Amino acid sequence: MKWIAPVFVYVAVGLGIFFFHNAWSALLGFHLAIIFSLLLAKPGIPVKILFTSTSIKWILINVLLCGSTGLILFFLWDKFGVADVSTYVERIGLNSSTWIPFIAYFTLANPFIEEYFWRGYLGSKTANPYLSDFLYAGFHGLILMNKAPTNMIVYSLAMLVLAGWFWRQIARADQGLLATVLGHMAADLSILTAVYLKLHG
């Protein structure tokens, strides 16, 4: 069951983007697929691990480092060769009335669900690259497809593999997921805000 779970996740995201053409469908389907997989698996990992940290330094490192990703995207937008996605974003249901609620939900809910799934349930204490690092990165490829040049998609996926590995190491060193949840939250908020400002600024 453990390594079938990501299949549900990929299918949910794919259906949301390519069949329903709706960002909310993709995101909620993604979360429901994860929750469904966890309910079936009953991994026995206490939820309190999401609120566990042994040192403030891991939290500060994560929040500062991951929060900078949105700034980098904002100022290097043209260098990354991001396509004009304004029409596409409107088409998948993100407009002036839905963007802010989407950012809020994505920022506040997604990091808890993802970190428990990728770094908790599918995680490992190995210092080497691990399968879940690649699976975590891979589903983002569905989101980036046809939105950026191929070389930038490959670069983004490589950086996401690195992020998955990095967060696993932080979770291992910190003996909990709070630092990675907050780092993930900072990354999600800064990246989505950068996209919003580029489209609506």
159 lies in some domain: yes
pLDDT digits (tens, 9 = 90+) for 31-49: 999 999 999 999 999 999 9
Averaged pLDDT of the chain = 94
- Going by pLDDT thresholds of 50, 70 and 90, the confidence category of residue 79 is confident
Least confident residue range of 69-73, 74-78, 165-169, 174-178: 74-78
Q: CB neighbours (10 Å) of residue 119?
A: 26
pLDDT value, residue 95: 92
16 lies in some domain: no
What CA–CA distance (Å, rounded) separates 170 from 118?
Answer: 13
4 lies in some domain: no
185 lies in some domain: yes
188 lies in some domain: yes
182 lies in some domain: yes
- Going by pLDDT thresholds of 50, 70 and 90, the confidence category of residue 73 is very high
pLDDT value, residue 200: 86
pLDDT value, residue 152: 86
Q: Is the pLDDT of residue 115 over 90?
A: yes
- Going by pLDDT thresholds of 50, 70 and 90, the confidence category of residue 80 is confident
pLDDT value, residue 35: 97
Global pTM reads 0.95
- Going by pLDDT thresholds of 50, 70 and 90, the confidence category of residue 174 is very high
Give how many domains the chain has, as a whole number: 1
- Going by pLDDT thresholds of 50, 70 and 90, the confidence category of residue 10 is very high
List Cα–Cα distances, 81 to 61, 132, 148, 174, in angstroms.
Answer: 29, 28, 6, 37
Q: Which residues form the domain of 120?
A: 46-200
What CA–CA distance (Å, rounded) separates 165 from 171?
Answer: 10
pLDDT digits (tens, 9 = 90+) for 53-64: 999 999 999 999
41 lies in some domain: no
What CA–CA distance (Å, rounded) separates 120 from 139?
Answer: 18
34 lies in some domain: no
pLDDT value, residue 78: 85
